[in-house]
Amino acid sequence: MIRVRFAPSPTGYLHIGAARSALFNWLYARREGGKFLLRIEDTDLQRSTDESTRSIFEGLQWLGLDYDEEVVFQSANADQHRAAAVQLVDEDKAYRDFTPKEERGGDANVKQEIAKRARRDADEGVDHRSNPYRELPLEESKQRAADGELFAVRLKVPREGRSVFEDGVFGTQERDYAEIEDLVLLRSDGHPLYNLSVVCDDIAMQITDVIRGQDHLTNTHKQVLIYEALGAPIPRFAHLPLILAPNKGKLSKRKHGAVVSLTTYRDRGFLPEAFRNALALLGWSPEGEQEIMPLDELREKFSLKGVHHSPAVFNFSESDPRQWTDQKALWMNAEYIRTMPLDELLPALRAELKAAGLWRPEYETSEHKWFEKTINLIRERFYTLKDFSGQGRAYFADDFEFDAAAVAKNLKKEPRLKELLPGLAGQIEQAEPFNAETAEAALRHFAEAAGVKAALLINASRTALTGQAVGPSMFEVFDIIGRECSARRLRAAAEMI
């Protein structure tokens, strides 16, 4: 039985790259009939927050990725991790390093320091196995520890040979042991380090397939070494290409803000179906040319074979609000909004309208037909759920806003409208029965009688009734808005001229 896991660290928000890892793990597990587990890697107590943990749960739920078994919190397993390190020391597979801890500078200097140290070590002929405590007799090591001397625990990496593993995406990966230093398993304050913790937890959770971001690819060799030292079976590994920013740099909150946070998409009116679909296409492609795929279809088609080796760029423009996020994702959301069966769209719609104070229970009962007609009419040109309460507000309430440009162009530009609009209102009121056809007839007759183009009245009506310069076919709008309300808004608009 296949068992995979999603193991985010609860620092900040849920990153879309992490969300994609979750998706791929979920797809893989569900497709293979395996288990999808969740582990919160909250060992960095400084940076971990409850809010972030919540955003992980919310994000997974929003995306529809249900997990199996109990959630594992890594911090709860620290004792086991420590015990594993101690065991390795006892078995002589690891050793206590009594070298005093070297204080490091800030994060920004880490890379420089690494390079500097590497150069210095090369100059001095120091290699990765030169640690003076590596061959310290176990008795002496034990004694010094008992005497209260501080130590870190390091894994004894073999002097010769190479590490090899088969990656499900990138193929055979090899690395000389000489390039891997005796990694620290336990800090001198007793705190287990990442590589140890993941391996221990993955063993405890009986993970069979580790699917995660490519940023872990080279570290996998270290983890394999730990598995071997612990005598545990090594899982299959598969690494996913990274998602980069438009400049091909790292996609980070610091630099790019909300676009990288999954919750942003929920909050800005994305349909989970759509975002999930878009996410799936980042770093993976199905066999055919079909790109629009609901969850169950993604699940059927997903395969590691289709996962790419090269990173994907998440394309958006920080300067253009219309391109606040990836254009294709936005297009896909619009596509889902206008083509999804109404009953599937309804929950999201209801939530959006409720949040905006526009929802009425009648929409699901006595006014259901009207509601359905309205949604079908307006969703055609909407991109996000927010549009229903924004641009679409006039369909559900009277307190909508007028777009200044629309008012200028469609109302104020033609002074005669001040008289024409009330006249039109009168005609509209007399249409019987009132529907799109009779509204059209009334308007066209009125235009002819008044000697003006129908388009003038149509466009003026659009702004009068909806506050906008753009929208659906106007006669349908009259029908939707209704006779009384249409007439009222026409008269009110005349006052604005």
Catalytic residues: 253
**Nearer residue to RNA within complex by CB, 262 or 278:** 278
User: Which residue from 59, 459, 480, 481 is in contact with RNA, where contact means CB under 7 A?
Assistant: 459
| DSSP string for 20-74 | HHHHHHHHHHHHHT-EEEEEE----TTT--HHHHHHHHHHHHHHT----S--EEG
| DSSP string for 242-290 | PEE-TTSSB--HHHHGGGGBHHHHHHTT--HHHHHHHHHTSSB--SSS-
Q: Closest distance between RNA and the C-beta of residue 1, in Å?
A: 27
Q: Closest distance between RNA and the C-beta of residue 280, in Å?
A: 9
Asked whether position 255 contacts RNA by CB under 7 A, the answer is: no
Euclidean distance between CA atoms 459 and 69, whole angstroms: 58
| Buried b or exposed e, range 79-97, using 16+ CB within 10 angstroms | eebbebbeebbeeebbbbb
**What part of residues 29-48 is at the interface with RNA (CB under 7 A)?**
41, 43-44
Euclidean distance between CA atoms 63 and 22, whole angstroms: 10
Q: Closest distance between RNA and the C-beta of residue 195, in Å?
A: 6
| DSSP string for 154-166 | EE---SS-EEEEE
**What part of residues 419-448 is at the interface with RNA (CB under 7 A)?**
none
> Which x/- pattern, by CB under 7 A, does the window 357-396 give for RNA?
-----------------------xx---------------
User: Which residue from 84, 259, 282, 487 is in contact with RNA, where contact means CB under 7 A?
Assistant: 282
Asked whether position 269 contacts RNA by CB under 7 A, the answer is: no
User: Cα-flanking dihedrals φ and ψ of residue 244, to 5°?
Assistant: -105, 165
Asked whether position 462 contacts RNA by CB under 7 A, the answer is: yes
User: Which residue from 142, 144, 216, 418 is in contact with RNA, where contact means CB under 7 A?
Assistant: 216
Euclidean distance between CA atoms 232 and 221, whole angstroms: 15
Query: Of the ranges 141-149, 253-261, 283-291, 420-428, which one interacts with RNA (CB under 7 A)?
Result: 283-291
User: Which residue from 338, 360, 412, 488 is in contact with RNA, where contact means CB under 7 A?
Assistant: 338
Q: Closest distance between RNA and the C-beta of residue 363, in Å?
A: 23
**Nearer residue to RNA within complex by CB, 83 or 164:** 164
**What part of residues 470-489 is at the interface with RNA (CB under 7 A)?**
470-476
Euclidean distance between CA atoms 321 and 221, whole angstroms: 43
User: Which residue from 71, 267, 331, 445 is in contact with RNA, where contact means CB under 7 A?
Assistant: 331
